[in-house]
Amino acid sequence: MSEEILITGGHVVTLDDALGDVPGGDVRVRDGVITQIGVGLRPGPDTEVVDAQGRLVIPGLIDTHRHVWQGAIAGFTPQMTGYGYGPAVLTGISLEHTAADLHAGTLWGALQALDAGITTIGDWAHALQSADHADANLRGLRESGIRGVFFYGGPGPADDDPNPPHPLDARRMRDEHFPGDGGTSDNGRLRMGMALRGPCFTSPERNRQDFAFARELGLPISIHVGMAGTADAVTALRRDGLLGPDVNYIHANQLTDEEMDLIAASGGTVTITPSTDMLMQFGTYPATGRALERDIVSGFGVDTVCSAGTDLFSEMRLALAAERSRANAEFLARNELVHEVALHQRDMLRLATLGGARVLGLADQTGSLTPGKQADITVVDLRSPHLDGFGDPVAMLGLGAGPADVETVLVGGEFAKRDGILVGPHAAKAQDLMHETQHRLRAAIH
C-alpha cells in the first residue's frame, strides 16, 4: 500500500452533507485514511496518482446482507421461490460443502462483491456445520480484504432437535477471532454479529434463548422477517421483550404497518433485498418506501447469489422502480396522472452507502467520503456510451452502471480492483479454488 494516493479530476460524490459533490475533484488518501478532498490538490514526490477524469468517485458500496459462501454456486436456483430454495440449498447443496468448499465459495463471493465496487459486506453465514466450517468462512473473508460484519449462523452440528440452539461455537469464534472492542477482528476490517433464526423459524422459547445468547456475547443480531409464509415476527419480539436497536430485520416487505412502527420506535434497522424479494416470492413490493417514510435506518442487500445477481447497481434500479410503482398504484387505479415522484437515484445511492454503513454500525469508518474515515472508495468509469450522459452523473450511475464499469476499488487505501481487474494476493488463485469446488459439488449432487 502506497503511503499516499491521490485520486484526481473525478466527479466526487462524497455523500457527506457538509461537502456535497466536488466536480473535477481530488481525494487524498494517506496511510489508508481519507485526509483531504478538494480541487487542484498537488501530489507529493512519492504520491501514487489515480486519474479519475471522466469517472465518478463514490464511497465504496455497502451490501448489508449476503450469503457470501454461495460464491461458488451462483445461478443454482434461478427459477425457485423461497419454498424450493430451502430443500435445494439450505438442506441440500449447502450440506455437501466441506470446510475447504466453504472457504473457496466465501473467498470468491467476497471478490464478486469487490469487483462490483462493494467494499463492505454483511456476511450472513448460514452454512456453518462445524467450527472448521466457521473458521474457513472467516478465512475467506479475511483473504479477500473486504470490510464487514461476519454474522455467525447455523445450522451447527447435526441434531434431531427440530428447534436446535444457535451454535455455541459462536462463543469460541468471538473469543478467538474478534477480541477487540465491539467484536472487532485482529485485522481491523471485520466485526462479528449473530445470524439468528428468529421467531419465524424456531420456537418462541428457543428464540428467547438465542437472543439472550447473542446479547450475552454483546453482538448485533440479524434475522429474516416479513417474507411470504411468515407472520407476526415483530409482534412476537415485542411480546417477549426482545425488540431493540441491536436488531437488523431482513426483507420486511410483508410486515404490517404496526410492525414497521415497532421497528422504528425500537431503533431497529431494515435491510432491503429487492431482487430476491420479487424474484423468489418473498413479497410484493420491497420495503423501501415504508421504511424511509418512518425514518428507519435502512440499506440494501444482494441476499442470495443463487437466485439473484452480485451487484448493488441492480438492486438500486429495481428498488427505485418498485417503489415508484407502489407509490403510483393508487393513482393508476383512478386513472390519474402523477405530476412528480418522491425518490431519486441519489436516494438509492445513499441507501447503498451511508445507509448501509449505519445498518452495520460502521458509519464512523465508512459510507461517505469524509476526511478521517477509512479510504473505502469506488471509481466508476462514465466514459462508455451507456453512462456518458447529459444530466446528473449519479442518475446515470443508477440508470445503467454495472460491475464492468467499476474501474478502481480501494478498501482502507489498498487496491482491490485496478484498471478494471481484481488484484491482491488471493485474487489469482480464488477462481481456481472456486472451480475445484464446483466440480466436486456437481459430482456430489448427481
Which stretch of 135-149, 233-247, 330-344, 352-366 has the lowest confidence by average pLDDT? 330-344
- Mean pLDDT, residues 55-64 taken together: 98
For residue 103, give the amino acid letter. Answer: H
Which residues in 126-243 belong to E strands, given as ranges?
147-152, 190-195, 221-225
3-state secondary structure of 327: helix
Question: Rg (Cα) of the chain, in Å, rounded?
Answer: 21
Three cell numbers, residue 235: 409482534
Q: What is the distance, to the nearest Å, from the Cα of residue 280 to the centroid of all Cα atoms in its chain?
A: 18
- Mean pLDDT, residues 66-90 taken together: 95
User: What angle is formed at CA 83 by the lines to CA 78 and CA 84, rounded to 5 degrees?
Assistant: 45
What are the phi and psi torsion angles at 319 (to 5°)? Answer: -60, -45
| Chain segment 350-375, per-residue pLDDT in tens | 999 999 999 999 999 999 999 999 99
Reported as a pLDDT band with limits 50, 70 and 90, residue 305 is: very high
Reported as a pLDDT band with limits 50, 70 and 90, residue 180 is: confident
Beta-strand relationship, 190-195 and 147-152: parallel
Give the model's pLDDT for residue 33.
98
| Chain segment 218-242, per-residue pLDDT in tens | 999 999 999 988 999 999 999 999 9
Q: What share of the chain in percent tops pLDDT 90?
A: 90
Can you tell me which residue has the cell 473505502?
Answer: 376
Domain 4-60+368-422: homologous superfamily in CATH: Urease, subunit C, domain 1 (2.30.40.10)
Three cell numbers, residue 308: 439473484
Three cell numbers, residue 248: 437488523
pLDDT at 185 over 80: no
- Mean pLDDT, residues 316-329 taken together: 95
- Mean pLDDT, residues 93-102 taken together: 97
- Mean pLDDT, residues 276-299 taken together: 95
pTM: 0.96
Q: What share of the chain in percent tops pLDDT 70?
A: 99
Give the model's pLDDT for residue 108.
98
H or E element, residue 379: strand 377-381
Q: How far is CA 87 from CA 83, 91, 309, 319, in A?
A: 8, 5, 21, 28
Which residues in 45-91 belong to E strands, given as ranges?
48-51, 55-59, 61-66
pLDDT at 1 over 60: no
Nearest to 195 by CA among 90, 285, 277: 90
Q: Which residue has the higher pLDDT, 421 or 183?
A: 421
Give the model's pLDDT for residue 186.
66
